[in-house]
A and B are shown apart, each in its own frame.
Chain A
């Protein structure tokens, strides 16, 4: 069953190098930079083209690079670009919407539980089976949860796409972009319902974007 639960982790003993063998005393080393800067590894003796007379440089992998846009990096998570923003933003909002809608559905289901019927023969209240109650609640949860989650997720996709586009057009990431993206996505979301709902939705989304900007300020 080791393929299922994983094998036991074996402790590996790290052999301690005797002093002097590796060119330094292992017991006197406190951190890595003292090894690299010690006399045994004099960078000036190496070829000058290797550029080793500089300080220690670390490997900088390209795909791990954070976004270099001005004003970016004040979010809750580090971002590597617009795909990260889109995925994390949409995912968070979608899960939040799903959860909130699910809670609302739970509430509705518990409020509208089926009542037991009075038996006409014995005149006693017949209780409703548990399965029926569970089914009612689950029906309400799966009705409200995905509905709210889907709407919230679509709004988040539009917001993030517009926000990233504005960022790249204006070459900076600030609150103005967020507000504009909120306004545009809200307007687009209700664009087929007429001007008035469009205005309401745009205003509400602008407020949400403003709240998000304020939250970022408070946290940082």
Chain B
């Protein structure tokens, strides 16, 4: 399989889905507790700010975590499946996986809503991939190898006429 662009910093495919579920869930839950903690604190009246923050975290943070986790895990699942079918790794994998995720998550809203959501998700992923590629190219350009400086001329016989 010639996939020179394969990402070796990640675990191999079927098992990485679990890791992505967990990573996305943790990110969502921890980020959600910070977000909703601050929001609950600010939206509570004086004297109830701490308990307001705690109840907001309890009510909302697991839901945010769940939303993130489902998204990330489904994305990883589709990404792995598409990799297994196409037998190559490129930006199209992420875009197709994004299309599938957007469609799956909106499947209960009817065909039109499903399609719109899928296309939106694919566009978002395409932008991500594009920005990533641009960044990669910029880094390659900025760190391109520099030719070694020429060594000093050996003090040989003086050129004629000098």
Contact = CB atoms under 8 A, between A and B. Distances in A.
A153 B66 contact: yes
Contact of A9 (B25, B54, B66, B87): B87
B58 interface: yes
B143 interface: no
A138 B62 CA distance: 21
Instruction: Classify chain B's interface size.
Output: 20 to 34
Give the dominant DSSP class at B's interface. Answer: helix
Give the dominant DSSP class at A's interface. Answer: helix
Pick the most buried of B21, B73, B87: most chain A CB atoms within 10 A of its CB.
B21
A77 B65 CA distance: 24
B79 interface: no
A89 B25 CA distance: 11
A118 interface: no
Contacts of B9: 63
A26 interface: no
A3 interface: yes
Contacts of A9: 1, 87
A135 B85 CA distance: 32
Given A4-B86, A6-B87, A94 B22 contact: yes
B62 A150 contact: yes
Contacts of B88: 6
Contacts, number: 83
B74 to A, nearest CB: 11
Contacts of A5: 85-86
Interface in A108-155: 138, 146, 149-151, 153-154
A157 interface: yes
A91 B28 CA distance: 12
B85 A86 contact: no
B22 A89 contact: yes
Instruction: Classify chain A's interface size.
Output: 20 to 34
B37 interface: no
Contacts of B104: none
Nearest to B1: A9
A87 B23 contact: yes
A91 B29 contact: no
Nearest to A95: B21
Contacts of B30: 157
Contacts of B23: 86-87, 90-91
A25 interface: no
Nearest to B9: A63
A138 B58 CA distance: 25
Interface of A: 3-6, 9, 63, 77, 84, 86-92, 94-95, 138, 146, 149-151, 153-154, 156-157, 192
Going nearest first, the 6 A-B pairs with the smallest beta carbon separation are: A91-B22, A90-B22, A91-B21, A150-B62, A91-B18, A87-B22
Interface of B: 1, 9, 15, 17-23, 25-26, 29-30, 54-55, 58, 61-63, 65-66, 69-70, 73, 85-88, 92, 108
